[in-house]
Chain A
Amino acid sequence: MRRGISVAAAAAALALAVSACGGEDTPQQSAAPAPSGPAPSGPAAVSGEVTWWDTSDATNEGPVFKEVIADFEAKYPKIKVNYVNVPFADAQNKFKTAAQSGSGAPDVLRADVGWVAEFASLGYLAPLDGTPALDKPEDFLPSPAGSGKYNDKTYGVPQVTDTLGLLYNKELLNKAGHDAPPKTFQELKTFAQDVKSKAGADGLALNVDAYFLLPFIYGEGGDLLDVTTKKITVASPQSVAGLKVVEDLIKSGAAAKPAIQDSYTNAETAFKEGKVAMIFNGPWSNTDNLGGKVFKDNPDNFGIAPVPSGSVKAGAPTGGHDYTVYAGSKNLDASYLFVQFMDSAESQAKIAGKLGLLPTRKSAYDMPEAQGNAMIGRWMEPMGAAVERPWIPEAGQLFQPLVEGYQKLATGGTTSDAMAQDVAKAYQGLLKGWSL
């Protein structure tokens, strides 16, 4: 039924076919200079309008991106950038609806790393190899860069990267008699129980979300899928061992009874108010956490550590966002230049310095602007444990069965084994031709 992969292969073969059809009814977009015309000299001659759909937090992050855009427009005065903030929750569907119709889609989209392969397989994205957009690819960290590749072509360049770490309240851990964060799942459990018995707070708050389940699965050597052998591994003994760790944390009371609805917010709220000593979360939550009651006046109390390891390793999922260019863009040249500029080491360092988001370029980490933000350095160690996710077109569908299973597990409605079987069965329905 799903012929995503073969279709995309066909699409790749046809990549050179230039077509003018599909949505020419956006007259408000001024056309870029025809690529076949007498080549004007250099990128400074490129003109036109670039619409960018930014999916970042409009209140807290958007203003910084607008500053970088102002720098871009100063450098390329002939290109006008039309900044549109699209709420993250709406962006995937909104882009797909617009992209398939050929009308209304932006030129450049900030896409979650999990979306790129899907969009590319559907023909929505322009390949960036050989264009200015893919600038100094060797400078990118390999794991985030992998998210932009599909069928040996590059469809997205990484904007920011992130992963999960263990965030902890130093004072509460100290009260429980520990001056370092837990390094293993076993320690996680005992430390959490110590906090509960000695420090008068909960030890650990879990966020019942598929993404936040992955460190446990990775830690025991499991994974959702094995892409190279096309195997569904979510019900493998290793993955199930990871689920059992979670089940035990909840059943033993080491983890506070998790909220299902608004799980993320509840864990954050408890952590910020000192009601819980440890949570799993990513670098995006730095600002939020540091504004919390127990960290506001005492930022040193806020600890960041890699996720604890299981019997095999410590591993947390790679997240982040990529810049992608819409294949139907009328202003490809200007769009490529825009992506190049936004994703330069200088721009990344600026964004990192102001927002604490982790750059994807190695060279950006060395720049003074990025180093000015203490959070960047503190996340380097957790980033070392980042594991690449399966970058396949169906990636976006993998989380729903997992989160439904996790919700049932967290409320005692199922066991680890049964949950793994259910999820694997759902994956078999999604992934044609994959084996268990």
Chain B
Amino acid sequence: MTTQVVDGTAAGATARGRARGPRSRGKAGGLLSRHWYAWAMCAPVVIVTLVLIGYPLVRGVYLSLTDATEANMGRTIGMNTIPSTYEFVGLSNYTAIVTSGEFLSRLAWTITWTVVCVALHYGIGLGLALLLNRPLRLRSLYRMLLVLPWAVPAFVSAFIWRYLLNGEFGVVNAMLRAAGLGGLDWLDDPFWAKVSVIAVNVWLGVPFMMLALLGGLQAIPRELHEAAEVDGATPWQRFRHITLPGLRPVSSTVVLLGTIWTFNQFPVIFLVTRGGPGGSSEILVTYAYRQAFEGIRNYSGSAAWGVLILVLLIVMAVVYRRALRRQGEAW
């Protein structure tokens, strides 16, 4: 339903734009006079983005095709001059990454991490949003408490969690032991370390998802639910056929952005497990960072990693958008 409204807006705007455009002589002049205000309004963002992200991106693509490192990129610092000796090496950085044994296993874990985190963010966020969407005593208190993890800076939360999950002296294990259960090696065992980073990231990310979905729920016209109830639809049917479709516009945005953010979620992994133990919780971004920035910096390698991650995410976004379109979403 929202989709139709949107399409209407878009079409209306286009029609208005045309109608208002002065009868132009040349095509270029016509485009300019018809769209100059839209372009002007986007210009600041576009320019800043192109300079600050676009330039590094283009340069990154170029560097990824060379063997540039910190040691062979020419520069002069005071009395020291380093000659520029890096060379064009074609796609060898990419082949080196893709054929290394680590790549596929890191990619597999990164995808698992992303899917599980986003699914839990969405699932728990939706669950809580559904509860909070009901008339309820203390609703605003619950809302405030549930949102608290978002208000604490993430780097602080990550530290606190590491402290809580400490195997020997941590609070979580102390509680487990007090309950008569054994403690777990939350951060020291490869499997539990993965569980722990996911748990921390879920804790951090649910509040945002919950608020976004709560907003989405409130936008669904109540009459639809009432009409369905009158028709004798079960709660499950109402959820399936009214709530979920009504949420789809919200969901599609937050799931897309959430996937991108989680895929590149550097701080949580880095601060909670430092990629350990034995590199087992390292996702692509943290692994790439370590490969490229520990010791003499490998600029070409880091660029190749960055481009590769970008390509993976663009492919994901394209597929996602196709899927949405098939369901009638416009973008």
Contact = CB atoms under 8 A, between A and B. Distances in A.
A binds B: yes
Interface of A: 1-4, 7, 10-11, 14-19, 21-22, 93, 96, 99-100, 102, 118, 121-127, 259-262, 266, 269-270, 326-329, 332, 393-397, 400, 404-405, 407-408, 411, 413, 430
Contacts of B190: 411, 413
Contacts of B296: 2, 4, 118, 121-122, 393-394, 396-397
Contacts of B276: 260-261, 404, 407
B37 interface: no
A411 B189 contact: yes
Contacts of A262: 162, 166, 187
A430 B81 contact: no
B167 A259 contact: yes
Nearest to A102: B77
A2 B80 contact: no
Nearest to B70: A122
B278 A404 contact: yes
Contacts of A19: 76, 78-79, 81
A395 B295 CA distance: 8
Given A17-B79, A22-B75, A397-B294, A269 B69 contact: no
Interface string B66-92: 010111110111111111010000000
List the 10 closest pairs (A to B, CB-CB), nearest first. Answer: A397-B295, A327-B78, A123-B80, A261-B187, A260-B188, A408-B278, A396-B295, A407-B277, A407-B278, A260-B277
Contacts of B188: 259-261, 411
B183 to A, nearest CB: 11
Contacts of A328: 77-78
A327 B168 contact: no
27 contacts: A1-B67, A2-B296, A4-B296, A7-B72, A11-B81, A15-B80, A22-B76, A122-B82, A123-B75, A124-B77, A126-B79, A126-B80, A259-B167, A260-B187, A260-B276, A266-B166, A266-B168, A266-B169, A269-B169, A327-B79, A329-B78, A332-B78, A393-B295, A393-B296, A400-B290, A404-B276, A411-B190
A15 B79 CA distance: 5
Nearest to B100: A429
A261 B278 contact: no
Interface in B279-306: 279, 290, 293-297
Nearest to B282: A404
Q: Looking at chain B, what size class is its interface with the partner chain?
A: 35 or more
Interface in B125-171: 162, 166-169
A350 B296 CA distance: 35
Contacts of A394: 295-296
B114 interface: no
B262 interface: no
Contact of B277 (A4, A16, A408): A408
B85 A3 contact: yes
B251 interface: no
B279 A404 contact: yes
B259 interface: no
Interface of B: 67, 69-73, 75-83, 85, 162, 166-169, 185, 187-190, 193, 273-274, 276-279, 290, 293-297
User: Which of B73, B77, B82 is the most central at the interface, judged by chain A CB atoms within 10 Å of its CB?
Assistant: B77
Contacts of B72: 3, 7
Contacts of A396: 294-296
Contacts of B83: 7, 10
A7 B71 contact: yes
Given A4-B71, A4-B296, A393-B296, A259 B77 contact: no
Contacts of B67: 1
A239 B166 CA distance: 31
A16 B278 CA distance: 46
A259 B168 CA distance: 8
User: Which of B69, B277, B294 is the most central at the interface, judged by chain A CB atoms within 10 Å of its CB?
Assistant: B277
Contact of B77 (A22, A127, A270): A22
B70 A326 contact: no
Contacts of A121: 71, 296
A308 B67 CA distance: 45
A96 to B, nearest CB: 7
A10 B76 CA distance: 12
A11 B77 CA distance: 10
Contacts of B85: 3, 7
A260 to B, nearest CB: 4
A117 to B, nearest CB: 11
Contacts of B69: 1-2
B242 to A, nearest CB: 46
A10 B73 CA distance: 13
B70 A21 contact: no
A9 to B, nearest CB: 11
Contacts of B187: 260-262
A24 to B, nearest CB: 12
Contact of A123 (B81, B278, B295): B81
A103 to B, nearest CB: 11
Nearest to A405: B278
A261 to B, nearest CB: 4
A212 B293 CA distance: 23
A327 B77 contact: yes
Contacts of B169: 266, 269
Given A2-B296, A260-B277, A430-B295, A100 B80 contact: no
B82 A123 contact: yes
Contacts of A126: 78-80
Contacts of A124: 77, 80
B196 to A, nearest CB: 9
